[in-house]
Amino acid sequence: MPDSVTLVSLSGYGDTMEETRVVVIGAGISGLTAARRLAQSGCEAVVLEARDRVGGRTLNHTFEDGTVVEMGGQWVGPTQDRVLALLDEIGLGTFPTYNDGMDLLVARSSQTRPKKVKGQRMMMAPQVLIDLGVAQQRLHRMARTVPLMEPWTAARAAEWDGQTAESWLRRNVRTRVARDFLRLMVTSVFSCEATDVSLLHLLFYCHSGGLWDRLLGTANGAQQDRIMGGSQSLSIRMAETIDVRLASPVRRVDHDDTGVTVHHDGAGGKIRAQALVSALPPMLTGRIGWNPGLGGQREQLTQNVPMGAVIKTMTVYDEPWWRADELSGQAFSLVDPVSVVFDNSPPDSSRGVLLAFIEGRAARDLGPIPMHERREVVTRQLQRFFGDRALRSIDYVEQDWCQEEWSGGCYSGRMTPGVWTQLGPALRQPIGRLHWAGTETADVWNGYFDGAVRAGERAATEVAVMLGIESDA
């Protein structure tokens, strides 16, 4: 934790309740954005954060040699205008994800050597490529008809929300390899299985992020760029000018027509405010005691938007040696527990770092085993992709987001079947003086940094309007 962001002691308050204008729950990108925009409009805001750090689902790790890697969310890309504007505003630059050379693909369990591909689809059988192309075109046509602000109003919303992505794939994709490839796409985006997500949510998400090529792409896609100094630096920079209280998990919120009283575990213990912004995933808001309750729809929503499962690993080498073999460092497997790999080396290439994701069912299966056994699984998978030199790593670090008490998983919350059509209106709708942020509430780039920024700005505007404040958000 940097010295510039410290826990504020309230021990001097005694039994006197602290007062502020707005309380924001959660010091991730969305909550800090909301507090920053409110502060810029002259509105005092206090951010309560359960962890002993800011950043939420972003987390930097610094190796002994100074190499920084991102153990949580990390990428930004074209059309993510709000987060790119915020990075520019606070003076953080970006650098491109390494993307030169050939990618690697393992499509079958019997495949002993990965295929070298470009664009992840080349060198597949013609019937597989045709099958994939037709399926993607159909998904795109369907996705474009889903209204981003109100997905439940789509003409076929009930039909699509009544099935999973998996059931659609089984009925509409003819070849096994094409189905497996599309399952990998779902798992890579949601860190869950295709059986776990509503088809309507898949279509909404696809539309929200600019369709599949934008969501999954590196060049000109969502994985195009990384943030200098690591993605957590975005939250650290924002927190330098905001009143952030760390180690202060919120336990209860009393709210009425005049304001809110927030009970937390930090020093002082209680804050009275005129409004509140919760920037938590819906699932985590269900852990807070709300007095009075939030009503049936919102209460049900918190029970039906689960988080994904992902273990993010970084394997470090003395150099990015795969580049000499004209490999991009990107690798994909349709059959192995390590499904996606990226070159995550520092911009000066002083070390080689291979980022490997374990997602969905594989993350749940491998999460309980000892870390050294999981490292062995990852290393053997990297050997299968890149050869024996992958066995000679010099360091390794991992982050199992399912074990994070104050996240409950990653990358974001997802809608299971029936949730959008039955409970969707409760996602963003304020309840009295309670407002909702977090990337899960975004209409554009839902689930990404850009969505987090947009949601924070929207919530700040809602609060400013309610309080009669002229907002720049």
CATH number at residue 167: 1.10.405.10
Assess whether 188 and 317 both reside in one domain. no
Assess whether 149 and 172 both reside in one domain. yes
CATH number at residue 24: 3.50.50.60
> Cα 290 to chain center, whole Å?
26
**The pLDDT value given to residue 1:** 37
Of the three residues 216, 240, 259, the one that is the final residue of a domain is: 216
**Residues contacting 141, CB < 8 A, separation 6+:** none
Assess whether 270 and 419 both reside in one domain. yes
Sole residue written with tokens 């029970």: 303
Six-digit token pair at 8? 């504020």
Assess whether 180 and 327 both reside in one domain. no
Query: Is residue 111 in some structural domain?
Result: no
Assess whether 427 and 288 both reside in one domain. yes
Assess whether 141 and 272 both reside in one domain. no
β-bridge mates for residue 331, sequence order: 104, 341
Instruction: Give Cα separations from 158 to 3, 162, 166, 200 (angstroms).
Output: 51, 6, 17, 8
Q: What percent of the chain has pLDDT over 70?
A: 95
pTM over 0.75: yes
Assess whether 200 and 320 both reside in one domain. no
How many distinct structural domains can be found in the chain? 3
**pLDDT by residue, tens only, the chain of 473 residues:** 333 333 333 333 345 689 999 999 999 999 999 999 999 999 999 999 999 999 999 999 999 999 999 999 999 999 999 999 999 999 999 999 999 999 999 988 877 788 888 764 456 788 999 999 999 999 999 999 999 999 999 999 999 999 999 999 999 999 999 999 999 999 999 999 999 999 999 999 999 999 988 999 999 999 999 999 999 999 999 999 999 999 999 999 999 999 999 999 999 899 999 999 999 999 999 999 999 999 999 999 999 999 999 999 999 999 999 999 999 999 999 999 999 999 999 999 999 999 999 999 999 999 999 999 999 999 999 999 999 999 999 999 999 999 999 999 999 999 999 999 999 999 999 999 999 999 999 999 999 999 999 999 999 999 999 999 864 44
Q: What percent of the chain has pLDDT over 90?
A: 90
Six-digit token pair at 260? 């809110």
Query: Is residue 188 in some structural domain?
Result: yes
Instruction: Give the structural domain span for 30.
Output: 11-56+231-306+414-467
**Residues contacting 217, CB < 8 A, separation 6+:** 77, 223, 224
* pLDDT tens figures, 312-359: 999 999 999 999 999 999 999 999 999 999 999 999 999 999 999 999
Query: Is residue 129 in some structural domain?
Result: yes
Sole residue written with tokens 């359960």: 50
**The pLDDT value given to residue 123:** 64
Q: Check: CB of residue 143 under 8 Å from CB of residue 151.
A: no
Of the three residues 380, 403, 426, the one that is the final residue of a domain is: 403
CATH number at residue 350: 3.90.660.10
**The pLDDT value given to residue 4:** 34
Assess whether 456 and 314 both reside in one domain. no
Nearest-angstrom CA–CA distance, 161 and 10: 48
**Residues contacting 382, CB < 8 A, separation 6+:** 315, 338, 341, 354, 356, 390
Q: What is the mean pLDDT of the chain?
A: 93
β-bridge mates for residue 356, sequence order: 313, 341
Assess whether 45 and 64 both reside in one domain. no
**The pLDDT value given to residue 122:** 53
The candidate with the shortest Cα–Cα distance to 73, out of 409, 347, 337, 367, is 409
Query: Is residue 442 in some structural domain?
Result: yes
Nearest-angstrom CA–CA distance, 125 and 175: 10
Of the three residues 154, 188, 216, the one that is the final residue of a domain is: 216
Instruction: Give Cα separations from 50 to 58, 70, 270, 271 (angstroms).
Output: 14, 21, 14, 15
Assess whether 281 and 351 both reside in one domain. no
Assess whether 76 and 22 both reside in one domain. no
Assess whether 299 and 422 both reside in one domain. yes
Pairing of strands 115-117, 259-264: unpaired
Query: Is residue 473 in some structural domain?
Result: no
Query: Is residue 6 in some structural domain?
Result: no
Nearest-angstrom CA–CA distance, 321 and 324: 6
Query: Is residue 409 in some structural domain?
Result: no
Cβ of 102: how many Cβ atoms within 10 Å? Answer: 18
Query: Is residue 280 in some structural domain?
Result: yes
